[in-house]
Amino acid sequence: MTLTSSSAASLLALTLLYFSISAYPCFAKCHVDDETGLLAFKAGITQDPMGMLSSWISGSDCCTWNGITCLANKRVYGLSVYEGTDPIFSLSGTISPSLSKVQYLRGLNLQNLQNLTGTFPTFIFNLPDLNTLSLDNNKLSGPLPLDIGQKLYRRLVDLSLSQNQFTGPIPSSISQLIHLRNLDLGSNLFSGLIPSGIQQMKHLVFLNLEKNQLSGKIPDFFTPLTFLRKLDLSHNKFSGEFPPSIAFLAPRLELLDLGYNLLTGKIPDYLGNFQKLDRLDLSYNQLTGVVPKNFRNLTDILYLELGHNHLVDPFPEMIVKFNFGSLDLSYNKFNLGTIPKWVESSTLIQSLKLAGCGLKFRLEDFKPSEKHFFNYIDLSDNQISGTPVGLMNETTLLQLFWASGNQLQFNLSDLRLPDGLKTLVLARNQIFGKVPQNISRLEKGDLSHNHLCGPIPTTKLPVRAFIGNDCLCGSPLPPCRN
């Protein structure tokens, strides 16, 4: 078949068009909209001490830029910029609204950019595919948009705004984010009530509202939230008793933190049914009554924090499948007498806080099955006698030891301070001898009101750490006499 000149020209044009289209992903460096949006973001950054955006150069392949991920068609769909914890080395500036030009963006993660300022970036409402927004640990401020739920409800699955300075109430429209799995608004300045509509967010796995100024009663809305694994409402101003519907979280819940609130009433028996719970923190509330006997069913518990309430005896004997990471029963109305055997048998306990627990025994009689892993011990304000030398001399990881307000009687010179020890508080005991030389390593300490004598080694501790002893001298006390 013979081709006419016109048909041959058409075939050639189609062939060239095919090769140009198929070759585009190989040779195109960056879509013009993506490059414009990303370079506008870079222009909004006034300081970049670590050169995080140094690879963002006009005309180069933006899919190779630091923090950028692309689809197969070379369109940008992910922007992730993370910095360390030191603000001195963090990006400074604002988030350019021109990022809305990056229309395929699915994930926007700007975290630990502690000098990044401005308000909530409403331009994200114009990103049709955005499903993950993480703006943690920045300096963003102001209220959240009242219509945040209406604007994002069809697509967002992860919303994390923790450690900023957002203010005002949590918008009620946030409950329209019905596909959300993770909601983290912790460590901000939110106030008012928790929106009751959150019960509509049936796919929630993680709900964190800690460290805000939220108040009122905790809503009784947990019945539909059967996928919830972690619930943190700590460090707020919540009052009243436990909402009964928390019981419906028993099959899956792994973390329940309601500490540092104003909760009253008794600890409900249903918490003993949370057999997957590995962290329970109810500390610093106004809870009364006994700890439910069925707490012995919490065999997976690793962190049990009940300190600073008004709980009374008897405390149930726990059966722990693994080991305690932390146990805090301090400053309730317990009269334990001795440290429970189930505590001694734990082989990996790191933090033990039993201050003001009515303990009355010789410290030498405390024989934990493993001393090596202790990191924090607080036995203050009990009636403990004897010496901590045997215990402390075998705890190589110990950083904090508190035992003030007891009846300890030993020679302080016999105490070997672990290399990592940062805090030593032994005030108001019957300790004698000299202050050891390596006390200079301590960041905090209190040896006041004992029977110590002799010169004080070079130290950063203040004068109140040494007052009330028999004959200590030298800085920060008056100089020694020859």
| Confidence (pTM) | 0.90
C-alpha–C-alpha distance, residues 138 and 162, integer Å: 8
Q: Are 131 and 108 in contact, with CB atoms under 8 Å apart?
A: no
Name which of 155-159, 327-331, 366-370, 418-422 the model is least confident about.
366-370
Q: Which two tokens stand for residue 318?
A: 């726990």
pLDDT over 90 percentage in the chain: 80
234-261: pLDDT as tens digits: 999 999 999 999 999 999 999 999 999 9
Q: Are 166 and 191 in contact, with CB atoms under 8 Å apart?
A: no
Q: Where are the beta strands (DSSP E) in 127-169?
A: 132-134, 139-143, 158-160, 165-168
Structure-derived torsion over alpha carbons of residues 36, 37, 38, 44, reported in degrees to the nearest 10: 110
Alpha carbons within 13 angstroms on the beta-carbon side of residue 141 total: 7
Quote the pLDDT of residue 290: 98
> Which domains are present in the chain?
323-481 (3.80.10.10)
Quote the pLDDT of residue 184: 98
Quote the pLDDT of residue 192: 98
The β-bridge relationship of strands 230-232 and 255-257 is parallel
Query: Nearest to residue 476, comparing CAs of 428, 450, 448?
Result: 448
Q: Are 190 and 209 in contact, with CB atoms under 8 Å apart?
A: yes
- Look at residue 134 and give its three-state secondary structure: strand
Specify the residue for token string 């500390």: 283
55-64: pLDDT as tens digits: 999 999 999 9
Quote the pLDDT of residue 410: 96
Distant-in-sequence, close-in-space partners of 29: CB < 8 Å, separation ≥ 6: 59, 60, 61, 62
- pLDDT band, very low/low/confident/very high, at 356 (cuts 50, 70, 90): very high
Q: Where are the beta strands (DSSP E) in 16-157?
A: 45-47, 68-70, 76-82, 92-94, 107-111, 115-118, 132-134, 139-143
C-alpha–C-alpha distance, residues 124 and 285, integer Å: 39
Quote the pLDDT of residue 322: 64
